[in-house]
Amino acid sequence: MRTTKKLTLLTLLVSLNSYATEIHEHHCVDSGIEKVHQLLTRYSEYSTMNGSKYSVSLAGTEVDLIQMIKSQAKPITSTEAMSENLVWLVLQPALIDNAKLYPRFLLDCKVNWSARNSFTQKCTLQKDKQHFGLSDLTINLLIQTQDPLCKAGSTGMKMDFRIDGNSDEIDQIKKATLGPAGILSPLISTFFDEDAFFRNYFSHLYDQWTKSL
Amino acid sequence: MKFNPLFTTLLLFCMLPACGQINQSTEHLGSMDQTSKQMLEELKSSRESLAIATHQSERIADAIVALKDLSVDLVKVMQSTFAKKTTEKTDDIDSVIAPSP
C-alpha cells in the first residue's frame, strides 16, 4: 500500500514537470534513397535547411516563433554500413535574447544501412549532457524503397518521435517570450499550449524536409 | 301625386337586395378602415425599426473602420516587436561533449 502511494506520488511529481508526446508520420518522396540519406545525415546543415525556422501567420504577417540557430556534429564511427554522430542542436524562440533559455540538446544519431533497400536512423537525447527544454527525445526513422504504402519508384519515410518536454523549462521560455510580446501575447501563447511547443516544431521541420526531396 | 300601391310594393321589393348590398359595403368599408389603421401603425413601427437599423449599421461601419485601423497598428507592432532579434553566443559541441571536470 505504501509502495503504491509512493509510486503514485512519484508519477504525479514526474507528470507535473514533464509531458510526453508522440508523433507518428509517414511520407512518400520522389527522391531516391541516397538523396534522403544525404539530407538526413548532413547534421551540420540542419540549421540552414528548409524548415529550420518555424513561422506562423498572424494578422497577415509571418512571425518566426522558433528557429534552429546552431547544428554541429562530431562523427564517432563511420563505415559503409553504419555511422554514429553526436549532434548538437540549439533553437532560439522568438523574442528571447538570453541564451540560457534557448532549447538545446545533444543527440546521438546512429544510421544503419546494412539492408540493401532500406536504412534506419535513430537519434536519442544524451541526458547526461547539457540540455534545456526537453527531458528526453527519441527519433526513429525507417527509410525504404519498395515501401508498400508508396508508389513504385518513390521512397517511403516512416517517422516516429517521442518527445518529453520539460514543463518547467518551457514555462520559463513562455514567460520570457510573452513578456516582450505585449498585446500580442494572447495570439502567440497558443504555441506554448501543452505539448505544442516541440511537437509543432519537429512536425514542421520534417514536413519541410520531405517537401524539399 | 298619387302612389300606385302595386308600383310602390314592387319598387320596395326591388330595393331590398340593394339595401343588403349597401349594408355589406358599409361593413366592408369599416373593416378596410380598421385594416388601414393597423397598416399605418405597422408602417410607423417599421420606420422606427428602420431608423434603429440604420443607426446600428452606421455604428457597425464605424467599428469596421476602427478595426481595420487597429489591425494595421497590430501588424506594425508585430513587425517592430519581432524585428528586434539578437542572438547570444551559445556553447559549441566541443565544450558540450567534453567530460565534466
Helix (H, G, I), strand (E, B) or coil at A69: strand
Confidence of residue A180 (pLDDT cuts 50, 70, 90): confident
Mean pLDDT across chain A: 85
Position A8 confidence tier, pLDDT thresholds 50, 70, 90: very low
Q: Which residues of A touch B84 (CB under 8 A)?
A: 95
| Residues of B with Cβ-Cβ distance to A64 under 8 angstroms | 82
Of residues A200 and A27, more confidently modeled: A27
* Banded model confidence at residue A11, pLDDT cuts 50, 70, 90: very low
Are residues B88 and A98, on separate chains, in Cβ contact within 8 Å?
Answer: yes
Calculate what percentage of chain A has a pLDDT beyond 70.
89
Nearest to B93 among A86, A98, A183 (CB): A86
Q: Sign of torsion, CA A78 A82 A86 A92?
A: positive
Asked if B90's CB is within 8 angstroms of A99's CB, the reply is yes
Specify the higher pLDDT residue, A63 or A136: A136
Compute the nearest-CA separation of A33 from chain B (Å). 29
Which one is predicted more confidently, A12 or A135?
A135
Which parts of chain B have pLDDT scores under 70?
1-3, 101
Q: Can you give the pTM of this predicted structure?
A: 0.72
Q: Are A82 and A112 in contact (CB under 8 A)?
A: yes
Q: One-letter amino acid identity for A42? A: R
- pLDDT given for residue A9 in this prediction: 45
Where does the pLDDT of residue A12 fall: very low under 50, low under 70, confident under 90, or very high at 90 and above? very low
Looking at beta carbons, which residues of chain A come within 8 Å of B78?
58-59, 61, 63, 184
Cβ-contact A208, A27 below 8 angstroms: no
* Cβ neighbours of B74 in A, within 8 Å: 59, 183-184
Mean pLDDT on A129-153: 93
Which three-class secondary structure state does DSSP give residue B48?
A: helix
Cα atoms in the 13 Å half-sphere on the side-chain side of A45: 8
